[in-house]
């Protein structure tokens, strides 16, 4: 009994650094945000009054908040599957014996290594109307100009393309690592059985990649709500909120308007969405991804 206790104590001591860091930088801020979201924004040195759900009512009444949610939903629906499929295709491509394979792998991974701010500035040039990269290429084929970022109908798709380009290479690395740990005897056995390549991919490779895919999916979902650097650099949420994502809305409310209470309420909404997504991914999907 005494020995058990000592072991338990030891275990907790070993966990302590991680617990302290998690509580200080993850759990406490989340709880503090929840508490702050129930109070009005403090002005000067007066303590803010308790307002219960007023801040949430304010969000419900704000059309920009709803548009940010809707935009973010489209953004997630478009970026997550596209970047995962693209990453898988790229990983399969560079997993074969090819001349210049190392270069190709690096080329695919390059977008991940560049800082998003720098990347966004390069893409600003790509999207420049008339003489930017895309319009120059389109002009070669006789096409006209596009106000990619200044037109409400193309601004969000333009942001989605940047995100997919940035993320796919990162996810490719995980798929590539998983592919390389796959035992080669499976492939030999499949070849002996006379299984076609597509059949092998569908019945063996894909199921074995499922745990990796779940991990990538979790990351993709988080990034769809977390990365807004390119929005800040390229569109600032415009035109007319066409590219306002949830986190950008929170940033503007908190740090441009200094309405910290409303920003806290919106943050709680964001946290709830993320928690639900995580619960679904780990609770429902995880039990199904392992190959049995």
Partner 1 sequence: MIRRRSLLATTAGVLAMPAVLRAQTAQKLTFYYPIAVGGPLQAIMDGYCKDFQKETGITVEPVYSGDYSQTLIKALAAIKAGTGPQFAVLLAAEMHSLQDQDILISLDDIGLDADAKKWISNFYPAFLANSHVDGKTWSVPFQRSTAIFYYNKSAFSDAGLDPEKFPTTWAALAQAAAKLTKRDSSGNVARWGIKLAGDLGNAQWTFGALANQAEQKLMNEAGTEVYFNQPRTIEAMSFWHSLSAQHHATPEGISNWPQLTPDFLQGNTAIIQFTTGGLPNFRDKATFPFGVAGLAGKNSPHTVVGGGNMYFFKNATKAEQMAALKFARWITAPERAADWSIRSGYIATSPAAYETPALKEYIAKYPEANVARTYLPVATGELSVHENQRVYKVLTDNIQACLNAAKTPAKAMADAQTEADRILKPYRRA
Joined tokens for residue 79 = 């970026």
Closest CA to 206 of 31, 69, 59, 85: 85
Token pair of 196, please?
A: 């076609």
CB of 125 or CB of 282, closer to partner 1: 125
How far is the C-alpha of 237 from the C-alpha of 241, rounded, in Å?
Answer: 5
Tell me how far apart the alpha carbons of residues 91 and 49 are, in angstroms, rounded to a whole number: 55
Does residue 128 bind partner 1 (CB under 8 A)?
A: yes
Q: Closest approach of Cβ 234 to partner 1, in Å? A: 9
Kindly state the smallest distance separating residue 42's Cβ from partner 1, in Å. Answer: 10
Q: And the tokens for 134?
A: 């895309």
Alpha-carbon distance of 238 to 227, in angstroms, equals 17
Report, in Å, the least distance between residue 37 CB and partner 1.
18
Q: Verify binding: residue 112, partner 1, rule CB under 8 A.
A: no
Q: Which stretch binds partner 1 (CB under 8 A): 85-93, 176-184, 202-210, 238-246?
A: 238-246
Q: Residue 196: which region, alpha, beta or left (left: phi > 0; alpha: psi -120 to 50)?
A: beta
Residue 25 near partner 1 by CB under 8 A: no
Query: Which of these, 207, 219, 225, 206, lies nearest to 281 by C-alpha position?
Result: 219
Please give the span between the terminal C-alpha atoms of the chain, in angstroms, as a whole number.
Answer: 39
| Interacting residue with partner 1 among 59, 91, 149, 263 (CB under 8 A) | 149
Contact 55, 42 (CB under 8 A): no
Please tell me whether residue 150 binds partner 1 under the rule CB under 8 A: yes
Does the N-terminal peptide bond of residue 80 adopt cis geometry, omega within 30 degrees of 0?
no
43 scored as a contact of partner 1 (CB under 8 A): yes
Whether the bond into 239 is cis, omega within 30 of 0: yes
51 binds partner 1 (CB under 8 A): no
Q: Which is nearer to partner 1, 147 or 281 (CB)?
A: 147
Binding-site member from 80, 237, 266, 269 for partner 1 (CB under 8 A): 237
Residue in 23, 152, 191, 206 binding partner 1, rule: CB under 8 A: 152
Rounded to a whole number of angstroms, the minimum distance from the CB of residue 184 to partner 1 is: 53
Nearer to partner 1, 205 or 253 (CB): 253
The residues binding partner 1 (CB under 8 A) are 43-44, 64, 124, 128-131, 139, 142-145, 147, 149-152, 235-241, 252, 255-259
């Amino acid at each position: 009994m005494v020995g058990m206790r000592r072991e338990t104590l030891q275990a907790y001591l070993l966990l302590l650094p991680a617990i302290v860091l998690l509580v200080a930088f993850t759990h406490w801020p989340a709880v503090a945000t929840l508490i702050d979201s129930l109070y009005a924004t403090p002005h000067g040195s007066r303590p803010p009054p308790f307002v219960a759900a007023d801040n949430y009512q304010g969000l419900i009444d704000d059309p920009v908040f709803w548009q940010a949610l809707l935009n973010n939903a489209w953004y997630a629906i478009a970026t997550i599957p596209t970047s995962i499929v693209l990453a898988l295709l790229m990983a399969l491509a560079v997993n074969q014996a090819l001349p210049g394979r190392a270069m190709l792998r690096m080329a695919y991974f390059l977008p991940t290594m560049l800082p998003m701010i720098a990347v966004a500035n390069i893409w600003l040039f790509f999207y420049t109307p008339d003489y930017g990269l895309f319009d120059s290429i389109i002009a070669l084929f006789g096409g006209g100009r596009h106000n990619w970022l200044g037109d409400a109908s193309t601004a969000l798709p333009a942001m989605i393309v940047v995100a997919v380009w940035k993320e796919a290479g990162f996810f490719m690395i995980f798929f590539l690592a998983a592919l390389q740990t796959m035992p080669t005897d499976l492939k030999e056995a499949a070849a002996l059985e006379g299984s076609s390549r597509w059949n092998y991919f569908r019945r063996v490779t894909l199921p074995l990649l499922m745990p990796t895919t779940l991990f990538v999916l979790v990351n993709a979902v988080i990034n769809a709500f977390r990365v807004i650097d390119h929005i800040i650099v390229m569109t600032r949420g415009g035109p007319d909120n066409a590219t306002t994502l949830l986190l950008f809305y929170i940033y503007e409310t908190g740090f441009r308007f200094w309405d910290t209470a409303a920003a806290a309420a919106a943050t709680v909404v964001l946290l709830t969405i993320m928690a639900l997504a995580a619960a679904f991914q780990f609770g429902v999907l995880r039990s199904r991804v392992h190959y049995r």
